[in-house]
Amino acid sequence: MHDPRISDHDEQLVDRHGLDDEAVDQIVRVMQSLRGWHDAERRMSEASSRYMKLNTTDMRALRFLIAARNQREIVTPGALSEYLGISSASTTKLLDRLEHGAHLVRAPHPTDRRALAISVTDATRIVARETVGRQHARRFAAAAALAPAEREVVIRFLDALSATELDQD
């Protein structure tokens, strides 16, 4: 966000009533830091996608499969389709693409002979852990370095930001 004193000089969008310049400067720095985080997240996601030669939906599917594997859950095409919010036809194309790239395997479901069980390959799981997983571990460490009260402030702030998507003022 640009400085509202410049981009919204007449306060048509941003109410600055009761905020002195120091407070507005600090709020602008918060928003700049948030933008920096967003840019870093985007770059990491794009780098992972390029490295693994996968699109965003493919990466989401793999994260889901890895999480399911870690929890010893069996994933079916239907469960994956529901999680991703895509049609069964799109799921089939996604599975074909990921299987062709040696990222997953399809096997008979162990208890339902009408269904397939989908699982991530060990090679893809290891690559994801060494790239995206290590980055997430560093982010976890940054959050762990905060005091509990500081984490609560961050949680409230991020939840409030998320809620702005719903606001239609």
Q: Helical H runs in 53-165?
A: 56-70, 77-84, 88-100, 122-128, 134-144, 148-164
Alpha-carbon span 99 to 93, nearest angstrom: 10
Model pLDDT, residue 65? 95
- Residue 147 contacts residue 112 (beta carbons within 8 Å): no
- CA–chain centroid gap for 38, Å, is 11
Q: What is the pLDDT of residue 166?
A: 66
pLDDT in tens, the chain (169 residues): 578 888 888 878 887 888 888 988 898 898 888 888 888 888 877 777 676 678 889 989 999 999 999 999 999 999 999 999 999 999 999 999 999 999 999 999 999 989 999 999 999 999 888 887 888 889 899 999 999 999 999 999 999 988 887 655 5
Q: Helix, strand, or coil here: 3?
A: coil
What pTM did the predictor assign? Answer: 0.69
